[in-house]
A and B are shown apart, each in its own frame.
Chain A
């Protein structure tokens, strides 16, 4: 009977985690789309949806604390609970990055568009793919995805640099009117911030993959080489 109750509570925690992961994934997708299509309404949706994700983080923390305090979980269940608090933290930070992107997008939407930035779409695609992998590793509790995500992180870094380079080149180009120059610089910096946010999402996704590996195998692979047993 006791055990049954524990399983039920753990199940609830899992569902809350998945709910949070789904909403976070959606927020990032919407933010990216809002930026790419200059959709201000979509950006507003992302900002408004953040509160729900914050509430879910609190809910995950509450459930984890309750399980730890009352049920004395063991082995993998214990790791799942510990991992959940960490992953929910990362998810919440990802959602905050999405909000950040959405806010920059709102600013950009109010001004004429810049020409498409080289590398930005690729960066967004890689970051979304990484977050997808992180979420699916959480759904399937698949420890082998950690390595794949880590490999993609290098690509994301490359694209971020490319975007940065493009925008620096763009900013130093001579522009006749001072007012237009200022606006151009301001918009460029907003886009640099967006690329920076995406890069953060990539890093946080990598962390999620590593926490999942920890939950499943009990091996902490943060800041170190991935052992051969976990390589795909």
Chain B
């Protein structure tokens, strides 16, 4: 039923309703008519019975039973009724349709319903099948009193065939009309159902067509407000979809143009780690032919680092960045971003030029410093010689000599620091070169170099590092870090103060801190003090003799040993002062 077409369903329901609406009243009508006809037949049979009874009483007296029987037979032949006379005991006395000789053999009629009825209520009737005559008959019986047979029952049986024939004729006509009506109504209902279905089918076809992508398709029907509204809704929906599709495809085209136009190589990985899309720049950079899609990053880059990074990001890392050198000396910075629904975006940014410029800059600084060092040493040396030898000069010349010596020394310090910085930048600290180092001895060595200035300002060092565990470091670098931090601290601390050095022992690293009681560093400078030549107070710093490179050297040295350095000013629980922290891994 569920799979039937709408039209069929509608027609079948119509037919069902028609059958119920036509047949039930028709059946009732038929029943009533049939009863009417039977009733009429019954009344007729009583009339005939009365007639027979009157004739019988008129014809009296008969000589004997045989004469009575004969009379019955005569009358029966003329009227075509069966006339039976039954004694009070139920025995048949005379019968029009049975030979006189056989009457004796008939069984008792006392239990026949009409006979029973007649005995009780003078007269009665019944319709039933006669076994004697082998057909359906209407029996009508009444009590009769004859001289020979007192209290007998006279019975007339009228064949039902006439009634039946009438009934059959009537029924025939009746059912024929009904069938005619039904056929007409069925055809009508079929037609109606079909008409109802047409707009629905149109709507279905159009909706299907829209679903397949023909967004220009519209429903065009004129049939009732409901269907028109449905059609209008579908048309509107199609219009909206078309708008959205246009918008989305325009956006997609724009995005694709951006994607293809990008200088950076971009590829999209699916959740299985295969390349879903790649732009022109990436295809060029990976030299994949004919297309990168469907392959793994490993196949096109032949680079285990990229493959591992892709796998890590697909495995759940939200973000990853790495720098990879490819063949022909290009260097790429690769950013991998995980897409939450699975997959990843990988962007290749060519930083070869940047790397090259950085190297040029470093080389330039190193070369210049190197070239400057020799003449500077010579200037410094000669100036020193002149001063020490007590060169016969007037006050002005001596003052000039002092200035030359002081500035040459300052410049020489800067050049030395620059060279140190360049060395730290270029020579990547090899992890294998890091050894377990005792920080306490490094600090002591660093303090030695600061002692003259510290003594002059009466600054004391509080150094409780003697029981700190060993750290992974390079001895010279660690001394360098401590020396620069202590020099700074001494330089900026007021007289008669203390410098605290302390260390925090953490599970896998040690945090060192160098704290002074100087004026502190304003917040806006704190981020920049690790840049080379950055000075908080230009005049004062220069006067104090710093090169402006100390903290820069510290940062590179600490980074090289796998640590990090940062500043806090003022320190926790203090009004002024600065504390420099750095951590190193435990040995």
A: residues with CB less than 8 A from B are 15, 18-19, 21-23, 25, 29, 135, 139-140
Contact = CB atoms under 8 A, between A and B. Distances in A.
B566 to A, nearest CB: 31
A25 B327 CA distance: 11
A25 B430 CA distance: 24
A19 B307 contact: yes
B299 interface: yes
B302 A15 contact: no
A41 to B, nearest CB: 9
10 contacts: A15-B296, A15-B307, A18-B298, A18-B299, A18-B302, A19-B304, A21-B302, A22-B298, A139-B299, A140-B299
- Nearest first, the 9 A-B pairs at minimum CB distance are A22-B302, A18-B298, A19-B304, A139-B299, A22-B304, A15-B298, A22-B303, A23-B304, A18-B299
A132 B544 CA distance: 60
Q: Is the interface of B mostly helix, strand, loop or mixed?
A: helix
A25 B326 CA distance: 12
Given A18-B296, A21-B302, A22-B298, 5 more contacts: A18-B298, A19-B298, A22-B304, A29-B327, A140-B299
A136 B307 CA distance: 17
Contacts of B307: 15, 19
Contacts of A25: 302
Contacts of B299: 18, 139-140
B236 to A, nearest CB: 47
A23 B304 CA distance: 7
Nearest to A48: B432
A21 B304 CA distance: 10
Interface of B: 296, 298-299, 302-304, 307, 327
A140 B299 CA distance: 8
A172 to B, nearest CB: 38
Contacts of B303: 22
A119 B386 CA distance: 60
Nearest to B325: A26
Contacts of B304: 19, 22-23
Contacts of A139: 299, 302
Nearest to B302: A22
Contacts of B298: 15, 18-19, 22
Nearest to A22: B302
Contacts of A19: 298, 304, 307
A139 B307 CA distance: 14
Contacts of A18: 296, 298-299, 302
A100 to B, nearest CB: 22
Contacts of A23: 304
A15 B302 CA distance: 10
A215 B304 CA distance: 24
A15 B299 CA distance: 8
Nearest to A128: B327
B296 A135 contact: no
A178 to B, nearest CB: 38
Interface centre among A22, A25, A139 (most CB of B within 10 A): A22
B562 to A, nearest CB: 19
A135 B327 CA distance: 14
Contacts of B296: 15, 18
A68 B346 CA distance: 36
Nearest to A56: B304
B298 to A, nearest CB: 5
A175 B302 CA distance: 47
A19 B308 CA distance: 10
A23 B307 CA distance: 12
A139 B296 CA distance: 10
Nearest to B427: A41
A75 B304 CA distance: 29
Nearest to B311: A15
A15 B295 CA distance: 11
Contacts of A29: 327
A19 B302 CA distance: 7
Contacts of A15: 296, 298, 307
A60 B587 CA distance: 36
Nearest to A139: B299
B419 to A, nearest CB: 20
Contacts of B302: 18, 21-22, 25, 135, 139
A147 to B, nearest CB: 19
Nearest to B432: A48
A18 B302 CA distance: 7
Interface centre among B296, B302, B303, B307 (most CB of A within 10 A): B302
B423 to A, nearest CB: 15
A73 B31 CA distance: 85
Nearest to A17: B298
A29 B296 CA distance: 23
Contacts of A21: 302
Nearest to A135: B302
A140 B296 CA distance: 12
Nearest to B430: A41
Contacts of A140: 299
A92 to B, nearest CB: 16
A19 B298 CA distance: 7
A22 B304 CA distance: 7
Nearest to A52: B304
A98 B527 CA distance: 46
Interface centre among A18, A23, A135, A140 (most CB of B within 10 A): A18
A216 B299 CA distance: 17
Contacts of A135: 302
Contacts of A22: 298, 302-304
A145 B278 CA distance: 26
A18 B327 CA distance: 17
A219 B292 CA distance: 29
A18 B296 CA distance: 11
A164 to B, nearest CB: 29
B45 to A, nearest CB: 90
A139 B304 CA distance: 14
A231 B307 CA distance: 33
A174 B304 CA distance: 50
B287 to A, nearest CB: 10
A15 B307 CA distance: 9
Nearest to B327: A29
A18 B299 CA distance: 7
A196 to B, nearest CB: 25
Nearest to A21: B302
A228 to B, nearest CB: 24
A132 B296 CA distance: 18
A18 B304 CA distance: 8
B306 to A, nearest CB: 10
A9 to B, nearest CB: 15
Nearest to A44: B430
A19 B296 CA distance: 12
A135 B303 CA distance: 12
Nearest to B301: A22
A55 to B, nearest CB: 12
